A and B are shown apart, each in its own frame.
Chain A
């Protein structure tokens, strides 16, 4: 039954589960985490209601992944981890949560143009707090001109943007129209242009892991 499920998922979302699993194992990840993620996605995919899908994915990552600094997890100040890296480590910061949710939602049938990764200023510690920090959340737009809902790891339930006065959006993007290097060639190789941007780099690594 699991096999049939996997095959169905694979066909629907264009995922290469074998490769994803191999990537996770190479990163030292635990198999049960991967199987849970897989099962969660299969469940989410079957759900007719978008809100249920969003909640399922949001909860999965907010529960499974422990918040930690990049410096602690990766030994560098700002590292954007791929979903498999985050899943393997079981730890991540706000970008890692957002990225993992973004890729997972794409694969349970949420269209790309309804999803945005959003740089936000987050005020921490109550409405009158003066502490502000850079943060990233995932926004879902039910319609192009509608108010989005916010998937966040600080406040774990999904709320409409208007109910998140602590967040001030600055800039949003997704993988649409992102130029991913000429013909997907190795950016360090001959004729390449050297470094890709952080986002391009992440998209490339995710592709290598098995997100097609």
Chain B
């Protein structure tokens, strides 16, 4: 029985007991009062009658007359006169009649009164003995009505007592529920704090739990801050704070290898006369200049999601814009900024040279770097602040205008020219955790299946991702329902979908329709989308909590410092971005960072999965840093 119900029962029982007890006590005392009053009246009336008869030397007729007169004018049950030998001289007895109260009541609470007795004499002569019993119906009636009144009054008191009791209970219940919810949340590894209730005992409990949660949070935050430093040291250029060469190369390779990528843009920047600046203005000014260039690149990166700025070596910088197709504008704006920044450092001659190019998916990193580097060299050879573009061969026909894309994507969805492909995600012992299922889409009947990277960026821009994601989810649920041997399927939700109210509603409907399949569905959002639209992400995670599907973040890592934000969401897993995994087996890689990351993630109940594991040595290194699972080219299906 719940504590609340027990409290209720205790209140009701004690109120009832108190009321019944006082009812009983007052009824019994009223009864004894009434019966004593009645006995006294009997005695007094008998004495008065005897006294009055004794004064007049009565004969038998007179005795009878006086007795009758008294009986007829008063409230008596019995008046009897017996002579000194015990023979009845006169007897007047009232016919038994209804005394106006229920029979059970007078049987349960009889009012017993002694009869009154007195002697009549005439002179020295004894005439007889009077016995007199007053009628008790008035006493019964008084007792009955007093009981009824008591019951009424006590019922009112009971109701008021019950009402006050329920007020107190509801005052207790609210803080109790919130403490219980907090405890539940903590078992689900959602570390939430609650308002501390004013009830002292609960206040202490809630304060203790809040304290524990806050300490845990602080611990996480400290650990996260420390790891962020480690990450920076390994991945960042110490002077400018941009990514270093290794980090840059890892990300470029990851983007090129990513099945969903559709290529991107690479911009290389070379500061023109660094030696001259160093010579003229000294080392400090040179560092200052380099920092300013870095800041200009960082300013560009802030505005473009997923972009990366890096300092490759002395005077060379790079800007990686995955998915971007129009790098020229960015490159020109950047060059203009650099010229402005460089004014105080450069007397004459060029400030910087820029080479850029748009690379398709699937090339290898050194080719891309070599080509853009060639473009940079070409720009450099022009002598001025020049920009030069590297031309890669575009090997696929793609629609050109946005309208055309929209039409083709809609048609593909209508015609069901969609399918899920899948890659295994296994634990480190090679057992399948789930299969990650990106959507492929066919733009015309004979066309190739386009990877997500080809159409998703355009679909994002055209706000078509909700339909695409819903299609992917329904395909996933179908497969799960059809084949119960699949442990799970992971479907990607895009950033613009999670902000869409309709999408959220329809997704929930779908999941509620197929609860068993939904319990094996894994839904993930890319880190960029999740953190840029954190409120939307938080909302959808909260809404999906009851559906049974698992929720996670993919491509995790670059926003690691914000891991504190997700500790109270109750997520199930993260997939760590491939760029952190790349080269894990080599010296000086991200080993320390990933080790700390997995400790923190495990602390808040997350399963940690590595993305883009390319080699068996990388896979082997994952267990050292405490990862739970892996996916990537090196992960093959068991069969």
Contact = CB atoms under 8 A, between A and B. Distances in A.
Contacts of A116: 119, 121, 126
A83 interface: no
Interface in B117-140: 117-119, 121, 123-126, 129, 131
B33 interface: yes
Contacts of A178: 43, 117
A193 B37 contact: yes
Contact of A177 (B40, B55, B84, B118): B118
Chain B facing A: main interface SS = mixed
B32 interface: yes
B84 A179 contact: no
Nearest to A161: B124
A170 B121 CA distance: 8
Interface in A147-182: 147-148, 161-162, 168-174, 176-179, 181-182
Contact of A172 (B37, B83, B121): B121
A171 B126 CA distance: 10
B36 A177 contact: no
Contact of B119 (A168, A174, A182, A191): A174
Nearest to B122: A169
Contacts of B51: 171
A176 B131 CA distance: 11
A176 B50 CA distance: 14
A103 interface: no
B411 to A, nearest CB: 99
Chain A facing B: main interface SS = loop
Interface stretch (A88-96, A138-146, A203-211): A138-146
Contacts of A176: 117, 119, 129
A43 interface: no
B42 interface: yes
A177 B126 contact: no
Contact of A179 (B43, B50, B54, B83): B43
Nearest to B130: A177
A145 B84 contact: yes
Chain B's interface size range is 20 to 34
A179 B51 CA distance: 17
A54 to B, nearest CB: 16
A197 to B, nearest CB: 8
B104 interface: no
B116 interface: yes
Contacts of B118: 173, 177
Interface in B576-630: none
B126 A144 contact: yes
B36 A169 contact: no
B91 interface: no
Contact of B39 (A148, A162, A173, A179): A179
Given A139-B124, A145-B84, A170 B54 contact: yes
B114 interface: yes
Interface string A104-120: 00000000000010100
Interface of B: 29, 32-33, 35-37, 39-40, 42-43, 47, 50-51, 54-55, 83-85, 114-119, 121, 123-126, 129, 131
22 contacts: A118-B124, A139-B124, A141-B126, A144-B84, A144-B85, A144-B126, A145-B85, A145-B126, A147-B124, A148-B124, A161-B123, A169-B121, A172-B121, A173-B119, A177-B116, A178-B117, A181-B36, A182-B32, A182-B36, A190-B29, A191-B36, A197-B43
